[in-house]
Amino acid sequence: MRTVAILPVKSFSRAKSRLGQAFPDRPALAAAMVADVLDALFAAPSLDGVVVVTAEPVASRVAAEMGAEVVHDPAETGQSDAVLRGVDATDAERVLLVPGDCPALDPAEVEALLAHAAPVVIVPDRHGTGTNALLLSPPRVMTPAFGEGSFERHSRLAREAGIDPEVAPVRTLGLDVDTPDDLDALRRALSSFAGGAVRTRALLDEALAA
């Protein structure tokens, strides 16, 4: 079964506004996180490809250099619309919808997630209310609806499609970064295990040293 990861990336100038002053150079942090996520995805043997949906020139260039297919997102109307653009651009039989702000992503955990055979697999965020990833087979088995409260929404949408969704907590996919608390949680997690997130680690270390 051909499986492709779809990664929506917001323009870096608009990214991570909720961090406030917790990290002043938010565009640099967003760029580092996307590249680290791409590293992890390309290290997962069961993925047959990666599609990056973005209007950000830097992300487009980096993604293309790393071997991803780039789909332009001229409207930037949100994560759900962006991933649907990616779905339209691929002939994959299964898609993994992942965010670009989980830099600690572990390829081994991606492989474990891809071993699930259910038509809909939901990866909750660390609070249990949002959705940090969806594994869909076929790609349009349900329409994604990311955003606040999306875990319950995705569960309901799957059931409305006649599917009992599986829930698969994935430690490193739970470490997305939207708020200062999320950034602190990522720092703590990175201090507890080695490897991965090379660019993001360097930026965070540099910020602490400043």
CATH number for the domain harbouring residue 65: 3.90.550.10
Tell me the three-class secondary structure of 4-58, residue by residue. EEEEEECCHHHCCHHHHHHCCCHHHHHHHHHHHHHHHHHCCCCCCEEEEEECCHH
In the prediction, which pLDDT does 38 show? 97
Q: Which domain holds residue 108?
A: 3-209
Provide the number of structural domains found in the chain: 1
Name the phi and psi angles at 42, rounded to 5: -70, -15
Distance (Å, rounded) from C-alpha 112 to C-alpha 40? Answer: 13
- Show binding-site residues for phosphoenolpyruvate: 131, 147, 150
Record the pTM: 0.93
H-only helix segments in 43-179: 57-66, 79-88, 107-114, 150-160
Interior angle at CA 44, CA 42 and CA 48, nearest 5: 70
| Binding positions | 131, 147, 150
pLDDT tens sequence for the chain (210 residues): 899 999 999 998 776 666 666 667 788 899 999 999 999 999 999 999 999 999 999 999 999 999 999 999 998 999 999 999 999 999 999 999 999 999 999 999 999 999 999 999 999 998 899 999 999 999 999 999 999 999 999 999 999 999 999 999 999 998 888 888 888 888 888 888 877 899 999 988 887 765
- How many of the other CB atoms lie within 10 Å of CB of 12? 19
The whole-angstrom separation of Cα 106 and Cα 175 is: 11
* Cα 73 to Cα 3, 59, 118, 163, distances in angstroms: 22, 12, 29, 30
